Structure 1
């Protein structure tokens, strides 16, 4: 599913349940040694997806251990992202991208009181003008999660919900404009990202892929 909103130079793997018999590396087991069952299943299947994706770009299985602020630690020369929610886990990796961000959420309204903490006033006004059939509040939340996941590897800094302004398009795309100084890439400060979204299987998924020099920026998200 998520491959539909990723460019050809980003490889993904996903799961809609938790397959039995998945083993973790000792370094990964140490991360979740005291985790509850739900967390253990999310973590384990997400690592399974990550290793499937890495295999598809020719890399052997390796531990994927969370680093600063929980960001997955990828092999040298690889960028990627992981997401999980009820009934879905996915990973996306690339050797050609500069950064990747993905997120998945249940396609349902945000819990009461959450929208005001994640959406700027202008974003809330814009959502009221969008058409029915999509939970735009949940989509906005997911898109901001993807923005952060693409932002952090480039900056090593936190990005708050209020520090990026998003425009959602019914066409399946979104744009993010940074309200704080952006990452500097190849001597140029980035002022925002573009991404894509999809609603299917009771889920909303969002993705951002920032192309490197060798990548073709035309297809998919970027």
Structure 2
């Protein structure tokens, strides 16, 4: 699912349902991070790192620990750029060599309405108006959850480039739909206009991030990629 949203150079490994509850071994450094965590957190932490190490193997990189750094962002091996996500019954890790992309971010969420009161805290008035219009044309899609997921992916791509927090209201996201072929999942793209100074990538100031999304198997998935040029 997630690999369809990303360039061919990106390696993606995901697990669905019971696969996401795999009891993969953790490195001692990783075990120390979740020593006092509840069982659900331990299983998610482990499952997504199993995916990450499988992705490393596909790139020919020796498997190694993935420890949380500042604000919980994963610290990847030198020369790699990556992102991880997990939600109930699903997890994924994506990796690419740093020469291919400057940054990337992925997110997956249950395809369901956001809890009451959340949308107003994460969406700009312009975004809420667009969601209303999207909902009129495709009421079968939970556009509020899709917007939330897109903002999560934007942040995950933003943070490694800046080392700074990006508030939900500091990016204005417009979602685009594509005609769904028979038997194919609904998908599309989105553009996030940054409302604060964007990161410098190879001397160029970015003012927007572009991403893609899909809805399938009871999930919403989003991905953002930041090229070097």
Shorter-chain TM-score range: over 0.9
> CA–CA distance in 1 between the matches of 2:58 and 2:224?
20
Partner of 1:178: 194
The Cα offsets for residues 6-58 of structure 1, whole Å up to 9 and x where unpaired, read as 11011110011335441000010011000001100100000000001111111
Gaps of 5+ in 2: 179-187
Partner of 2:130: 126
Partner of 1:34: 36
Partner of 2:185: none
Partner of 2:106: 102
CA 1:180/1:26 → structure 2, altered by over 3 Å: closer, same or farther?
Answer: same
**TM-score normalised by the chain length of structure 1:** 0.94
RCO comparison, higher one (Cα < 8 Å, 6+): 1
Deviation at 1:166, TM superposition (A): 0.1
**TM-score normalised by the chain length of structure 2:** 0.91
Partner of 1:10: 10
Match of 1:167 among 170, 174, 188: 174
Deviation at 1:209, TM superposition (A): 1.3
The Cα offsets for residues 70-106 of structure 1, whole Å up to 9 and x where unpaired, read as 0001000101000000010000010011101000000
Q: CA RMSD in A?
A: 0.9
Partner of 1:199: 215
> CA–CA distance in 1 between the matches of 2:143 and 2:198?
25
Gaps of 5+ in 1: 214-222
Q: Which secondary structure state, in structure 2, belongs to the residue aligned with residue 129 of structure 1? A: helix
> CA–CA distance in 2 between the matches of 1:184 and 1:19?
39
| Runs of 4+ more than 2 Å apart | 17-21
